[in-house]
Structure 1
Amino acid sequence: MIYGVLLAAGQSRRMGSPKPLLIWQGQPLVRHVATVALASRLAGLTVVLGAEATSVGLALGEMRSRVHVVECAAFATGQAASLICGLASLPTDAIAAVILLVDQPFVTPGLINQLMTTFAAHPEAHAIVPRYQGQQGNPVLLAAALFPTVATLEGDTGARVLLRNPTTHVHWLEVADPAVCVDLDTPESYQAFC
């Protein structure tokens, strides 16, 4: 059972306004990414809220009944808290989680499925990480064996620091789609990709 964890709790400092609420293809970005995730073979999706939790929760619209929503009280301490909160909320049968970022609108259900298929072929891996032309991308699949280590993270860091640890068995998934390296961090990037 592989679940998705959509991180939508950040304060969007560089964007200057909440990224989950940006309009993408006629709907809030958080709803768009959740729709993509639910179109994949994931067993379920947890959406982690924090900053602007009420507004972002409402932006999920009808999707809210199809996802598990959790609020991260410590979201202001950085991404680590949101990631830990999301993983801790997963069902006990979770063997892995695909970590989705709310500011990556070009991720497809096919890419999510490819991460899951690759994990099935490499069950010894702690993480399946997409890579485009040598550049590490997202989303990343984390095996449940890595969850306790993730729980020790602090501050504004995601799992990337763990992926650099030589004891972490990372399987690199080479992809032809640059979408894994595209995120909307600034007003300029948002306008450019719109």
Structure 2
Amino acid sequence: MAPRLNFQAVILGAGSSSRMGCPKQLLEVDGITMLDRTISAVLQAGLTRPVLVLGAHRSKILQSAALASCCRIIVNEQYETGQASSLIAGVNGLHSSCDAAIFLLCDQPLLTGGLIGELVAEFDRIRPDILYPLFRKQRGNPVILAKSTFPRLLQARGDRGARFLFNAPDLTIHPCEVDDEAVIIDVDTPEEYRALVNSRTIV
């Protein structure tokens, strides 16, 4: 049996939250900021010292996010150019021993350590180039990328993120079916935030 791969987590939190009108990283769900919820889920999955990419509002985030001190902080000065710059910053912040990285958005507050662990275990078992969660035929996040894809990821530009890798014919891409809608729920607007908070208070 092959030894377990060395996984690291990259949390993308550099965006300006322009559609939200305030730093969504610090919006609370069940009394905990969305960023702290993400960091907590990563730590619960056994992925220590995640890479946290910050850009806009970084001083306020570092002051307010209780678990940011558990992360390796990477500052993306080019955050306004799109998500690709944060992916590149995150990859450059990974340890050289990293075999695969799971890339998480900071606006998916319902992700749990158990779900992240499930994705990591499936990647370790299958060992594809790319793994993504699939909930009722909808592709979600977070995505796990093998180290072999990092050189291509460093060529990403603009706001398309890593999506261009899904079109590479030579890469093995594995959908991991999950029974948790958390992988398709993110929060970009005040309306989405209110809907999420209201759904948590319904008995």
| Bin for the TM-score computed over the shorter chain | over 0.9
Greater mean deviation of Cα atoms: 35-44 or 89-98:
35-44
Is the aligned partner of 1:122 residue 2:117? no
Partner of 1:34 in structure 2?
39
Alignment-mate amino acid for residue 190 of structure 2:
P
Amino acid at match of 2:120: M
1:74 aligns with 2:78: yes
The number of aligned residues is 192
Aligned twin of 2:168:
165
How far, CA to CA, are the matches of 1:96 and 1:84 in structure 2?
A: 15
Deviations 1:53-84 (A, max 9, x none): 111112222x2332111110111100000011
Identity among equivalent positions (%) equals 38
> CA–CA distance in 2 between the matches of 1:41 and 1:21?
23
Contact 1:49/1:57 (8 A) holds in 2: no
Q: Please say which of residues 161-170 and 82-91 is displaced more in the overlay.
A: 161-170
The gaps in structure 2 that reach 5 residues or longer are 1-5, 198-203
Write out aligned runs for 1:49-88 (5 A). 49-61=54-66, 63-88=67-92
SS in 1 for 2:12: strand
| Runs of 4+ with >4 A deviation | none
Does residue 132 (structure 1) correspond to residue 135 (structure 2)? The answer is yes
**Aligned match of 1:90:** 94
Say which is worse superposed, 144-153 or 155-164, in terms of deviation: 155-164
- RMSD (Å), alpha carbons: 1.1
**Cα contact 1:127–1:142 (8 A) shared by 2:** yes
| Greater radius of gyration (CA) | 2
Contact in 2 for aligned 1:30/1:59 (Cα 8 Å): no
- Give 1:31 deviation, angstroms: 1.4
Distance across 1 between alignment mates of 2:169 and 2:188:
29
Question: Of the candidates 174, 177, 189, which is equivalent to residue 174 of structure 1?
Answer: 177
Paired residues of 2:133 and 2:183 also in contact (CA < 8 A): yes
Check conservation: 1:129, 1:139, Cα contact below 8 A: yes
Structure 2 counterpart of 1:36, one-letter code: A
Per-residue deviation, 1:103: 0.4
TM normalised by structure 2 equals: 0.91
**How does the TM-score come out when normalised to structure 1?**
0.95
- List runs of 5+ in structure 1 lacking aligned partners: none
In 1: Cα distance, 2:26 partner to 2:68 partner: 15
Secondary structure of 2:155's counterpart equals coil
